[in-house]
Each structure stands twice: as structure tokens, then as C-alpha cells.
Amino acid sequence: MSDEAPAIRLTDLVVGFGNNTVIDHLSLDVRRGEILGLVGASGGGKSVLLRTILGLLRKRSGTINILGANPDEVSSAAMRAVERHWGVLFQQGALFSSLTVRQNVEFPMREYLQLPPRLQSSVAITKLGMVGLSAVDAEKLPEELSGGMIKRAALARALALDPDIVFLDEPTSGLDPIAASDFDRLIKTLQKALGLTVFMVTHDLDSLATVCDRVAALADGKIVALGPMSAMLASEHPWVQAYFRGQRARNNSIV
């Protein structure tokens, strides 16, 4: 696989429930090493698209290609090998509530790798340090953490296996603006340090403007605009205009 090949390639993807088509012949490439932000209206299918890429929802037609593997064609063992190379940050963190933060980060390592326990816990503590959690926090249970710390711990777990791609589902939602911008900076730093490809579903205009290399706008089940922020601002699509030139965008002095 050459470095030129995209990390994720979606071709003619169709997803729907019953009579309702949510994703309608959508095509999108996510390049290696970029941070792609996906925006769209609430209920517009962003989470559906994310969950379809992750294999949690079934698609009607089209192909998905992640890190050179097509889930329809490769065996389930090969797909598991690909899944080892991605990490997911769920919106609510989805930390396992009966495990401590450190055990949460060690969980994927324990399942996939046979490592000496000392190395495993030192890597877990290092990952937690990278996302800004201390060794004291590492021994806490998820219920003892604040919302921002849960997101950080969940990010550390998503990064546990040194993935090539991380999927972030609204990483800054529920965080105060300071915590949100810290988190944005954290994503950018980690992306540089670890050479990650980041696929990020977000509503946060600041995140889009500061960390995303490219933005994809999802409307009517299709990608209606794709490119850097300047391309979003120049787009003629009415929804994209409303989104990026609305009151909130102006208040954020993005325009």
C-alpha cells in the first residue's frame, strides 16, 4: 500500500432505515495524516455515517475501504487486524465503568498484545500523561472523573494501540470553551506526534477552524462541500452558507 492511498475511501455509500435513506450515494476520501472534520445538521446522518464506517451499522450498497481493506471482501480475521489500527472516541466516552482509567487504557492492549505487565502499565500511564491525566487520575474509576477528564481518558484508550486512524465523535461537546480549546490543541499535538489520521464529527466551529485540515459538509445524505475552511466559506450551498456564515460563526469571528 503506497502512502498516496487514502486512509479511508467511501464510494457510492447508501445507508437507510426502512423507507428512509439517510446516506445517499456518498463518496469521500480521507487522506493519510490529515484531520478531517465532518459537519452536518443534527439528525442529518453524521453519526450514521461514522457508525457505518466502523461497521456498527449495515450499509445498503457502496464500498468502504479502510487502510486498504474492504470489509465486504476480506475475512473477519483480516478485518479484526484492521480494527486493531483504529481507535474510536465515543461521544459519551464509553469508558468501562467497572474498570479504573488505567485498566480502561490497558484493556485493548491486554486483548491484542502479550506484553509484560510492567511495560503495559507504563505505556498506559504514558498515554494518560499525553492526554494530560496524572498517575493519580489513572487509578480513579470513570464515575469519579469530570466530563473533560472522561473525554481525555477515552482518547487515551482510543490511542492505546497506537492506531493509524482515530475516529472522534463530537470530541468537544459538553466541554467548556477553555477545555474545548485545550482538547483541540491536544488532538493537534497528538496527531503530529503519532502521525495520526483523524476523522472527526463535530459541531464546534472553533475546532473546525483551528484543527481541521479539511472540512466535509454533509447535507441531504451527500457531501455538499469539501475542502479547507476557505472552501466552506466560498460554498454556494444554502445549508453550508447558513452554517458557516450564521450568527454563531460571525460571533466567533471566523468569517
Question: Interface with other proteins by CB under 8 A: which residues?
Answer: 97-98, 113-116, 118-119, 122-123, 125-127, 129-130, 134-136, 139, 141-143, 159, 161-162, 189-190, 192-195
Specify the residue, 189 or 251, whose C-beta has the smaller distance to other proteins.
189
Specify the residue, 36 or 161, whose C-beta has the smaller distance to other proteins.
161
Write down the residue that cell numbers 499535538 correspond to. Answer: 189
**Alpha carbon distance, N-terminus to C-terminus of the chain:** 39
Asked whether the CA dihedral 49, 25, 30, 5 is positive or negative, the reply is: positive
Least distance in angstroms from the C-beta of 3 to other proteins? 12
Specify the residue, 25 or 80, whose C-beta has the smaller distance to other proteins.
80
Q: Residue 130: what residue type?
A: M
Least distance in angstroms from the C-beta of 212 to other proteins? 20
Least distance in angstroms from the C-beta of 92 to other proteins? 12
Write down the residue that cell numbers 467548556 correspond to. Answer: 176
Least distance in angstroms from the C-beta of 192 to other proteins? 6
Least distance in angstroms from the C-beta of 195 to other proteins? 8
Specify the residue, 57 or 141, whose C-beta has the smaller distance to other proteins.
141
Q: Residue 146: what residue type?
A: S
The x, y and z cell numbers of residue 63, run together, are: 464500498
Specify the residue, 105 or 217, whose C-beta has the smaller distance to other proteins.
105
- Residue partners of 59: CB distance under 8 A and separation at least 6: 13, 14, 15, 23, 52
28: exposed, middle or buried (Cβ count in 10 Å: 0-12, 13-18, 19+): buried
The x, y and z cell numbers of residue 43, run together, are: 439528525
